[in-house]
Chain A
Amino acid sequence: MMKFKVGLTALAFAAGLASMMPAAAQEKPSSLGLGIFTFTSGPAAAYGMPGKNAADLMIDDFNAKGGIEGVPVKPIYVDEAQGAQGVIAEYRRLAGDPKNQVMVAALSSANCLALAPIAEQLQVPTVGWNCDTHQLLIDGKSKYVFRPNGNTIPEFIAYAIYLLDRKPDVKTVAIINPDYAFGHDGANIFKAALKALKPDIQIVAELYPKMGSPNYQTEISRLATMHPDVVFSNLWGADLENFVRQATPRGLFTSSQVILALGETILQRVPLPDGVIVGVLGDGWWMSPDAKANAETAKFAEDYKARFGEYPVFPSIKMANALIYVKAAYKAAMQKNGGKWPTRTEIADAMKGSTVATLTGTTHTRADNDGLVDQIVGVTVKSADKPFPVIGDMVRYKGDSLMPKADQDPIAWISTLKPEFVKTLPKPGSYK
């Protein structure tokens, strides 16, 4: 009886160990599972659902063309609204099945930070399809976590530079960002960039309303009493929609130059006035000159519109580009290993240092696994052929021009920038 128990324990241990080990190169499986993490409920679903919609569309397209390297793709969606503990548990559960070779995780920076050490521990290639926080890959030691869509550093420096080009006489700035890491990181980067590039700018108010707040009337009053030249915000989702709807009739968009870092996501839903500085936190503007010149992107946008009733927004493009990135990694890994189905480690190796053509440009993965993507910023303008405002007077900053080197502290790097730096970069309206 004792021997039986010992044998059983050994068997269980061996099975457990086997599930922890990276699978050896093998025959093609019947399907390839992709764990896809996004918000499908709660206020953040306004950003997360366009990502899921894009994943549905891209995966259907992959499968219609034979899947990834001949293997049909099977997405398994995880709702990030359940909180970090639930997300971690789901990640571990999915990672335990060798068929789920890659995780596309996640939207929330907090969830990305929570999942990164687990991805390294379990050796699962994990592609942060959003994961904006610059803190994610800051130690430069990650082997399995990748972020092809760039991070908060270039995203928010881009707004400071565009602002100084468009409104060089700016003196006072107010900030209203959501009260969590993304809001505070965004404010710190934007402030650091302004301080370095135009040291006499004063920050006259910093407001951090709770995420999910339905009412911004008091914040709008406070901003109005300060009369700032510029109001900067990286509110997003339903929060951004509410803020814009409440601020527009109260004249905030006419009394101050407003910058909405995630403004593109609401162009089709909320009537934004002309002249608001908006961008796409990367290059994911489906109507950019590069995107328009790409037949695949135009088809994606039209298919998206036909299926979901709206054109894609940049979270959709980020997701689509992340999936293109995963597909490219499989192709590269199989080219390298002689056509065998790759292991998780081989897929991660293929992602390192890769340069992948996306729907809206290219993404180059640096040695620290962070992606270099261009940054598109512009202002809202009326469209001749669309019933909503689009982005005009655009600029496209090169991805590497706004990023510190892999081993540099990003905030310290920003403080080394000089006002002359702005003159070295392309000007608003130059991207057409």
Chain B
Amino acid sequence: MSNTVIPLLLDSLASAALIFFAAVGLTLVFSVLRVLNVAHGSLYSIGAYVAASICLFIASRQLSPYLSFVALLFSAVFVAAILGPLIERTLIRWTYGKSEAVQILITFGLFLMLEDLQRMVFGVQSLYEDAPVRLLGTSQIGGVVYLNYQIFLIGMAVLVVIGLRMLIRHTRLGRLITAVVADREMAQSIGIDTNRIFILAFSLGVFLAALGGALAMPTSGVAPGLGADTMVLAFAVAAIGGLGQIEGAAVAALIVGLARVLAIYFVPSLDAVAPYAAMLVVLLIRPYGLFGAVTARRI
């Protein structure tokens, strides 16, 4: 029994960690900007492409493979620093206060452009460099060999949840973000530079998306189409957790991870639908998601 239960639990956590990274940036951006960013998946895959390119460069120059860990973090910072302000200032800013349909259309257009851009820049073959996986080695747990990198990812996901909570609750920037989320107009009236907060929050969302892609790359590689798959899963997780709820995204990732793993272990034919079945059940019981709340709509 333990030979099934332990792998099942560990697989659920490992799967949840990857799913959480895919969704947390999306939910953060929605909580601050009230924009559902359909291009989120592309930012995830760009993070993966940049990380793969840098790690491959490190390998080709025979530099220390430990630099690849730095490269994973650097690539997320690089993507966020370039694309975060650029996209927010040129596209996203025009969608504030517009209807959800307009926001979705604009960000979907951005998604299509970014997908083609990736093909032009990185080609259509998959990219992959697993130095971080090799460096961390493997462990036998419950009779099954696991990559220590999978456990590292679980730890990283926990760190990100704690880090974001600390940022929001215990820093000045966090308090400013909280003020903007609570009442954008009131925050503006007391002198908060909301435009700056929007750029920072959107860039942080891009960073989290790119970090997710970068951290997934050493085990999953990156190939065309990754962005679209990620986007759909991220939406499911964000909806289950409650749009804009960071802790909700973490719990939702656990639910989706567990649902998927249970399906693979016991009903493999339901593997693909398991996350969405979980979403359906949660939304039927709680239409605003697990951590979401009904909000009055201002007219």
Contact = CB atoms under 8 A, between A and B. Distances in A.
> Do these two chains interact?
yes
Interface of A: 40-43, 45-46, 49, 179, 205-210, 212-215, 217-219, 221-222, 224-225, 237-238, 241-242, 245-246, 249-251
B246 to A, nearest CB: 23
Interface in B201-233: 216, 219-226, 229
B155 interface: no
Interface core residue of B3, B134, B229, B268 (most chain A CB under 10 Å) = B268
A42 B10 CA distance: 31
B272 A215 contact: no
Given A45-B124, A46-B223, A218 B264 contact: yes
Given A43-B225, A242-B128, 5 more contacts: A45-B125, A206-B268, A209-B271, A218-B261, A218-B265
B224 A45 contact: yes
A247 B237 CA distance: 27
A225 B3 contact: yes
B112 to A, nearest CB: 13
B14 interface: yes
Contacts, number: 115
A241 B223 CA distance: 10
B151 to A, nearest CB: 12
Given A217-B11, A238-B126, A207 B264 contact: yes
Interface stretch (B137-145, B171-179, B248-256): B137-145
Contacts of B216: 214-215
Interface string B231-267: 0000000000000000000000000000011001100
A212 B4 contact: no
B88 interface: no
Interface of B: 3-4, 7, 10-11, 14-15, 18, 119, 124-126, 128, 130, 133-134, 138, 143-147, 150, 216, 219-226, 229, 260-261, 264-265, 268-269, 271-272
Contact of A225 (B15, B144, B147): B144
A66 B42 CA distance: 46
Contacts of A238: 125-126, 221, 223
Given A217-B150, A245-B130, A249-B147, A210 B225 contact: no
A205 B266 CA distance: 10
Given A49-B124, A249-B134, A222 B147 contact: no
Nearest to B221: A242
Contacts of A179: 271-272
Contacts of B128: 241-242, 245
B11 A43 contact: no
A130 B262 CA distance: 36
A131 B195 CA distance: 54
